[in-house]
Structure 1
């Protein structure tokens, strides 16, 4: 993604008769800030992959369909069987339902306390590291800008030396500016990726938390109504 984005800016440098610079040459000439952002990009990609894997595997259970199965068992008086159904997989939704079922005979307060404690453990895991993507977007942008400023200072210092021909001065200036711009483009590319991932993952985490709250309410209502006189 970054290579395609950055190589697009190479045309402006190579179009000049004074010479040009590729991304790999920019890494060789001024590797410090580009290398730092390369590390940042690796961290970002690893974080996004981990969060996507967590959200789309751990929370792939259809909570409404699962609750329908639990409701049939509970209304039939098979709470033990319902608990065994929750042990079918290590999914947070199943853990939440199990927390309520294991306290089904202890009254509404016990059921509510158990499920609230469990949902308090599950929600932070859903949001984990997502907020860091926004910070990494800012960090990558600033590192890129810092690399640009450093590159321009280095370039202008080089062209100001005596004994350099006009053609060499123009070539050094063009190549130096191209290298500096790669830093900005690289940093902005990482920032854009972070922001898009943050938008998707944050919305997904909100949907998951809403689903957990809805599941908690359904199970609580089911169990409290079940234990009332004249219940199911």
Structure 2
């Protein structure tokens, strides 16, 4: 009986030891996956103006991009047809061609054709004025992209300041400097800074892309205007 009792006590002790060992094992949990939408929400209220700037910048870029691209289509055929009409003395046909082209170059040439008979300086002035007006139309709202490129990082910096303020406020309330307490402010600080810089960089690139497209159109218009003036001066040579 004594040996049986001792065996039972030993088994019970072993069982208790195994149970204690399982309880003392560290519990490992998989970290919760952070979604992009949740990350944006953690940026706080500063993400609202940054988001508005992002949408505004994209709308302006695509609207201007397609408008400028349409205006930059190759008009070499128009110049050839206008030259042929002028050489044949058919000004009405040349004016109709320019009117139907519905392009910056067409409107410039049409203005010049309507001034035929006046001094060349007057024709050049009329073409130049129309050219400036067409370029102003193409550059419409492009400057807003430059403003977005400058303001978005500033909102990101504002979010950084708001995050730091939140960190110190949470510490003052809890009198605790643990990572759990300061993590909320760190999220605001880092997310808004990253978002502001990203929107600013994209707007900056889009701004210069559109400006380069407009500069290319200006060069083509100036070249075609010079060719048109030379064409008008040919009979007098």
TM-score (norm 2): 0.79
2:222 alignment partner in structure 1: 213
The higher-RCO structure (CA 8 Å, 6+ apart) is 1
Does 2:190 match 1:181? yes
Q: Deviations over 1:128-160 (max 9, x none)?
A: 222332221110000011012101211232033
Matches within 5 A, 1:40-55: 40-55=53-68
Over the residues paired in the alignment, what is the CA RMSD in angstroms?
2.4
Q: Distance in 2 between matches of 1:76 and 1:139?
A: 57
Instruction: Find the residue that maps to 1:183 and give its secondary structure.
Output: helix
Match of 1:32 among 34, 41, 45: 45
Matches within 5 A, 1:48-67: 48-60=61-73, 62-67=74-79
Does 2:201 match 1:192? yes
Instruction: Give the greater-gyration-radius structure (CA).
Output: 2
Gapped runs of 5+ residues in structure 1?
1-16
Q: Distance in 2 between matches of 1:211 and 1:127?
A: 16
Q: Distance in 2 between matches of 1:110 and 1:33?
A: 55
CA contact (8 A) 1:18 1:171 kept: no
1:97 alignment partner in structure 2: 109
CA contact (8 A) 1:18 1:170 kept: no
Report runs of 4+ in structure 1 exceeding 4 Å deviation: 17-23, 26-30
Q: Distance in 1 between matches of 2:208 and 2:174?
A: 52
1:125 alignment partner in structure 2: 137
Aligned-residue offset at 1:76: 1.5
Gapped runs of 5+ residues in structure 2?
1-29
